[in-house]
Amino acid sequence: MGLRGAYFAIATLAAAALMQLVTLNWQSLTGGTFGFPIFFLIIPPVDLYYGALALAAIATLLVYVISRNSLGLAFEAIRENEDVARASGVYPRGFKSLAFGLSGAIMGPVGGLFALSAHYIDPSSAFNLLYNLQIILMVVVGGRGKVFGPVVVAIFFAWV
């Protein structure tokens, strides 16, 4: 977590690419290139839609609440200038780890819904570079540090 800015984004994308290679080659667990079908749980599309809507609302509310308290101020200080934040008593490594964990906790259920909607999962769809780049683009276009900007851009991406 010692990386900053674009280097952190590149390292995260590299980690996703590495995980794709690991899951492609760990055939006993993941099915390799064949993946595995998910037939044991069929959920109607309307229920998946409402599940995704609920997850999006929860994530947006969580980000909004965090942005309005001292944790959000710490994240903002780190975003603006890590050295100044450190001098102010905000330790970037711990807060970056927390942010990384929170984003993973949000994206885990989203990935589960994705697998359920596709009725199939394989390493190429789970670690798709295009999806990762779309998420980064939504944040960049919607505005770093903004709550609702990326949400509006995500709705636009889904609509287009």
Q: What is the tens place of the pLDDT at every residue in 35-53?
A: 777 777 788 889 999 999 9
Distances (CA, A) of 46 to 14, 52, 56, 156: 35, 10, 15, 20
What pTM was estimated for this model as a whole?
A: 0.79
- Residue ranges making up the domain that contains 93: 5-127
Give the start-end residues of each E strand in the chain: 36-37, 120-121
Q: Is residue 158 part of a domain?
A: no
Are 125 and 33 a contacting pair, CB within 8 Å? no
Q: Is residue 101 part of a domain?
A: yes
Are 37 and 120 a contacting pair, CB within 8 Å? yes
Q: Which residues lie across from 37 on neighbouring strands?
A: 120
Distance CA 77, CA 32 (A): 42
Q: Is residue 83 part of a domain?
A: yes
Q: Is residue 112 part of a domain?
A: yes
**Domain total of the chain:** 1
Q: Is residue 141 part of a domain?
A: no
Structure tokens at 132: 């990762």
Question: Scanning the structure block, which residue is given the tokens 């994308």?
Answer: 13
Q: Is residue 85 part of a domain?
A: yes
Q: Is residue 76 part of a domain?
A: yes
Distance CA 79, CA 145 (A): 8
Q: Is residue 77 part of a domain?
A: yes
Q: Which of the residue ranges 1-10, 20-29, 41-50 would you say has the lowest mean pLDDT? A: 1-10
| pLDDT tens per residue across span 89-136 | 999 989 989 998 998 898 889 888 888 888 888 888 778 888 888 888
Taking the CB of residue 134, how many other CB atoms lie within 10 A of it?
14
DSSP letters of 128-153? -HHHHHHHHHHHHHH-TT-SSHHHHH
Q: What mean pLDDT, rounded, does the chain reach?
A: 87
